[in-house]
Structure 1
Amino acid sequence: MSVAVRGLTRRFGPTAALRDIALETRPGEFVALLGPSGSGKTTLLRILAGLDFADSGTVEIEGQDMSAVPARARRLGFVFQNYALFRHMSVFENVAFGLRVRPRAARPGEAEIGRRVRALLERMQIGALERRMPEQISGGQRQRVALARALAIEPRLLLLDEPFGALDAEVRKGLRRWLRDLHTEMGLTSLFVTHDQEEALELADRVAVMEAGRLVQIDTPERLVEAPATAFVAGFLGHAARLPGRLAEGALHFGGVPLPPLPRAALRAAPAQDGPVLAFIRAHEWAVAPAPEGEANATLRSQRPAGGHAHVELDLAGHVIEAEAPLGLLRVGQPCRLVPQTARAFAA
């Protein structure tokens, strides 16, 4: 199942929710739409589903133009953040609903509906809940019911709009691993909306990063982290320190903080021309060590164990810097020497 979006624009009064979106997915791919609230993720998903309409541009699914195809005829599964289960129906009837409302010629018989629904409930690991009502099951179980209902119609494409947003952290982690396994097992093509970067980077084959209605970069999780295309992507992913500076004389000079210059050759990314920049440095890209007062440029604010190292926070002339250090090397309040090893710089 392939999806091709070309030149998609959607306005709500004077506000552009989507601006000239171009996106293509490959059959069997899991694509995450990632961005802050208001970036256009859900609007794009609703247009794909036929629940909203673009002002310009086209949507093609398997090469077919969807502009004249109503939502009910698109054979898409849609899973909402709030589950959208029918409260007066049992788990079984919620999952069976999409099959029962098909036109008579395409509607399976009762025995076939029962077989399909029970098979799906078993696959979702909630077979014992078929007679329960939605208010009698947990949030994680409701999400599995919503997913079973979306899959009952054997969709060509699965769309998920922040489906784990209402769940606690531990339930989220278990469900997203399970969803990724289910996606692979069933050979689905899936588009998944989230504002949680950890969720997107863990689940997706590719991540499409959106900002203010624009798609600013789509790439593998590894490439997004290592080679962000814009300052927004660099700042949005990876919890990087963001510092002003200037490229000049073959080096990055930091403004307003007591850091040594970084040679241009040490930078992972930088504009070709000299001038003011924003520099992004991730926690593992700092070297930090205790130092006497005369050589120190930072002070340790806090630390906590993180795997085989300590995750530390330092005060650098009023900037809070996250870095990594060997366990037991530093103590809170200690003067330190903080030196960047590399950075990604973008024109300011």
Structure 2
Amino acid sequence: MAVYFIDGLNNIKALKAMGKQSRFQAFLERKIRSLRKAQRLAVTTHEVRRSLQEVLMSACLCGTLYVSLTVFDYQVSEILVMAVLLSQTMRYLARIQENYQRVAGAEAIHDSFHALLKETRAASERRSGGLMPTLNRGIRFEDVHFAYLKQREVLRGANLEIPVGEITVLTGPSGAGKTTITDLLLGFYDPEQGQVRIDGVPLTEIDIAAWRGMIGFVPQEIVLLHDSVYANVSLGDPKITQADARDALERAGRRGRCDCPFRRGLGTGDTGPAQGHCRTPRRTAGPRRTEHRRWNQPVPADERSSGARAVRAPRPRGDPGSPLRRSA
């Protein structure tokens, strides 16, 4: 239920823009009614079970007393001792049954947790090679094949060259493989066939942490931290000074357009109005002089081919990076 609510809050602007908030509200109300019904059923079942246990215990005691008095002709003192022992035994049996039901209810959670843990271990990030990366010539994809979860191939024999000193734009419709190419470049996945080479060196032989440290990343969903502009730009790196951060803002063209105080909090952690006026933190791709930058966001593009396509443009004057931009 919390997932639906959070998704609705994250997309409230789009819902209101299309006038769909009332439908989403009705959807949440249906989910809430279904949840309440399930909770009532669970509580009713638990209480009915407890009541039936008491009824069965009373019936069993009465039956035992009747048989002992009429059939076996036991003394009253003996019958009382038997009744106490039987009552205690049935109480312990009831506790055992209750604990067993709790274990049975938690078994599904236990199995799901261990299945998720096994899947997480299987998908753990590989330890990369030990070569230090360089980016003097460019990046090359050589006959790269890749598919998610062994399904239909997203990339089939992809060949791409990203030279240093130029802007490379990946354009194409959704599902053409633009994000997949950039994820392979970042080492999030390994190609099933082919190689990704950095200055001619396979990415699998390169120290992936050092390689990622050379990359400035701008995601599709730009979310500001609940902190100052400086903290958003530096991301907690003590080596980055205020002068470095201001230089990054100026190089990104946002220094004079950012309405937020440099050292004061932004007051937002989502995509609210403050972000529209101060989109600095992610657009600068960090204040350091990155060798490679990756924009994973929509940009205007008229290209609507069946697959992703690379378009290059000269590098802006004074920009030391080798940008790669993804276009929706």
Q: TM-score range by the shorter chain?
A: 0.3 to 0.5
Q: Could you say which structure has the higher helix fraction?
A: 2
Q: Could you say which structure has the higher strand fraction?
A: 1
Q: Which has the higher contact order (CA 8 A, sep 6+)?
A: 2
User: Is the radius of gyration larger for structure 1 or structure 2?
Assistant: 2
